[in-house]
Amino acid sequence: MKYDILIQRPKLTILIFSIITLIISTQALSVVITSDIEVYTPSKEPTVEILNKIRKEWPVDSIMIYVSGENITRVDALKEIDAIEKALNPKEGMDEEGLSDDVVYTASIASFLRDTNTIFPVVGENKIPDDQKYADFLLKLIPDEIKYKFITPDDKNAVIIVTTTKDVDANELLEDRVYPILGTTTETNMTATGTITMYKETVDWIMGRIYTVLIISALLIVLTLLAFHKSMKAVIIAIVPIIYAVGLTFGTIGMMPHVEFAPTVIAVIPLLGALGVAYSLHMINHFAEEVENHPPENAVRRIITTTGKAILLSAITTIVGFASLLSSTMPPIENMGLAFLIGVLYCFISTMILVPPLLIISNYRRKGIKGWNSFSKLTKYKKHIFLLFLVFTMLSITAIPSVSTRTSVWEMMPSKMPSSISMNEYSQKFKGGQSGVFLIEAKGDGILEPSLLRGLDGMVKAINVGVENASAFSIADVIKRLNFGVLPQTKEDVERIVNERMGEKYKTMMLKMEKDKSETLVYVDMPIIPVKDTKKSIDGVDQIIGQYRSEINGNITDLTGLGAITVTINT
């Protein structure tokens, strides 16, 4: 028969399957568990497409460094922040060895002050001044709309934005450069945070606890099986297929090129534990019954042709259910469905290949099999049980509208991580955390037209005044501050201010001039708030953008960024 190899050569069967499993399992180390927020974004959504378009030309991905101190505006503190920035980005686009760098630019209250210092002829220098009064004077020249994005009004907290390339290796950058440098400060305390850091630390947090979770789960499964079966043989036979299935599953997904998984992929392990034990126990219990009346080989044949078919049907329906996740536009859900599908398939294969030989080799018997007589008595109350389940079902159906499907990325992260604690504090003090941007494009050098700048200034003011939990700043704020608080009346005056008085930091962040077009990026920040409140603010900003599209002679995108994507995911 087709199952005879499992029965007549049980040891050989286990050996061959073990070798195959070992070879495949070695690829498990190649599984890519990414901390990139992109794995959570539906790529075909307009918000994501806008962000990807901006990311191609503008550096908007960033690591945030949260700074605490007695007085950040003291020259010593400013110089320390400046030194940290220079260490992280010693040369624009290049590292100290002349190799390609992952850091595009850094921004902080110190670097804005240094840039402001350079605009003064003769006395101005590209450095933090030694004189405290002169430093205080320079701080007053930085537009408040920008200044208070980088330092709190009480001068006790600040933030350094480390803007990176879009394909940065966050693990390498943080481990090799950011963390070691932050440990050298003396004037201030610094903590790396922001979405890139938090996702990276979340992955580390999960992977650092996965072995503990696996051990506890395995121990609980063993104790539960022992409590019911009181046989170590049954426990071993039930657990071995799970171990093989886990190795095969992660080995297989590790061999898949260009497939990245969110940290939630570890949920495959408890799923395989539950299914594997169920599949194995069905085979073990049926074998224990059959072997009392038939030789072990015949008993195995009978369970394969009966219970085996039932397990196959169960596996197929489970696979079909998880396969439906492959239709999701959310990459993590799609990839999770793929991992579950592969896992269930291997769970079935491992059970059918390993359990029969193990039953024969172990000479498994369970004498005196007792039925659950007390449990079977419940069948006398069929109507009562049906009514009870009907009531619970109706209650569950009525509760469906109350089930929240809204998920914030912040709620997915461990709250006690240093980066998470710092981000929550940053959100409270800076009213930020959910950064967003929108892009304005104009033909030629149209961004420098006074009429466009006036429209841009009005739009930013409307956002700051009219949208709750949103604050915006633009190139117009910088030009006004450099022109005694008013926008220039002529394009020539604007060009003079931009070319002669505007620091390079402002240009890098907000202005791009090309032969046939010019662009400016407008920054909008929101605190970490519930999704429904975020949506209200996003809608408010987009509404104002829509109102100003006809007044500004240029193309304006909708707001995009972390907050906008979070809303998209939850709608």
387-405, pLDDT tens digit by residue? 998 999 999 888 887 776 6
Res. 407: pLDDT tops 70: no
How confident is the prediction for the chain on average, in pLDDT?
86
> Could you report the per-residue pLDDT of 542-551, keeping only the tens digit for each?
999 999 988 7
Distance CA 193, CA 195 (A): 7
What sign for the dihedral angle of Cα 321, 570, 527, 332?
Answer: positive
> Could you report the per-residue pLDDT of 278-292, keeping only the tens digit for each?
999 999 988 888 888
Q: What is the mean pLDDT of residues 230-259?
A: 89
> Could you report the per-residue pLDDT of 168-216, keeping only the tens digit for each?
888 889 999 999 999 899 999 999 998 889 888 887 887 777 778 778 8
> Could you report the per-residue pLDDT of 333-365, keeping only the tens digit for each?
888 889 999 999 999 999 999 999 999 998 887
Distance CA 75, CA 133 (A): 10
Closest CA to 138 of 481, 476, 457: 481
> What are the φ/ψ torsions at residue 369 (nearest 5 degrees)?
-65, 125
By the 10 Å C-beta count (0-12 exposed, 13-18 middle, 19+ buried), 208 is classed as exposed
Buried/exposed 401-431: b ≥16 CB within 10 Å, e otherwise: eeeeeeebbbeebeeebebbebbbbbbebbb
**pLDDT value for 98:** 40
**pLDDT value for 93:** 46
What sign for the dihedral angle of Cα 550, 556, 562, 565?
Answer: positive
Residue 409 near residue 568, CB atoms below 8 Å = no
Residue % of the chain over a pLDDT of 70: 91
Res. 156: pLDDT tops 80: yes
Instruction: Tell me the Cα Rg of the chain.
Output: 31
- The answer regarding whether domain 4-30+216-367 maps to CATH 1.20.1640.10 reads yes
Read out DSSP for 393-422? HHHHHHHGGG------GGGGS-TTSHHHHH
> What are the φ/ψ torsions at residue 500 (nearest 5 degrees)?
-105, -25
Distance CA 43, CA 146 (A): 31
Q: How far is CA 370 from CA 226, 229, 280, 366, 373, in A?
A: 16, 11, 19, 10, 8
Other beta carbons less than 10 A from residue 147's beta carbon = 18
**pLDDT value for 123:** 64
The tally of CA atoms less than 13 A away on the side-chain side of residue 29 is: 3
> What are the φ/ψ torsions at residue 298 (nearest 5 degrees)?
-70, -35
Res. 99: pLDDT tops 70: no
Beta-bridged to residue 293, according to DSSP, are: none
3-state secondary structure of 3: coil
Confidence category of residue 36, pLDDT binned at 50, 70, 90: low
Q: How far is CA 263 from CA 7, 40, 338, 429, in A?
A: 40, 11, 14, 30
The tally of CA atoms less than 13 A away on the side-chain side of residue 243 is: 14
Closest CA to 250 of 207, 313, 301: 207
Distance CA 409, CA 392 (A): 32
**pLDDT value for 96:** 47
**pLDDT value for 370:** 59
> Could you report the per-residue pLDDT of 413-455, keeping only the tens digit for each?
787 888 999 999 999 999 888 999 999 998 887 899 999 999 9
Q: Which CATH number fits domain 431-569: 2.40.160, 3.30.70, 1.20.120, 3.10.580?
A: 3.30.70
Distance CA 14, CA 554 (A): 69
Pinpoint the alpha helices (H) of 434-485.
450-466, 475-481
Structural domain boundaries of the chain? 4-30+216-367, 59-193, 431-569
Distance CA 67, CA 187 (A): 10
Res. 383: pLDDT tops 90: no
Q: What is the mean pLDDT of residues 518-529?
A: 93
Higher per-residue pLDDT: 211 or 407 = 211
Other beta carbons less than 10 A from residue 365's beta carbon = 13
Res. 268: pLDDT tops 60: yes
Instruction: Assess whether the region 4-30+216-367 and the region 431-569 belong to the same CATH fold.
Output: no
By the 10 Å C-beta count (0-12 exposed, 13-18 middle, 19+ buried), 484 is classed as exposed
Res. 40: pLDDT tops 70: no
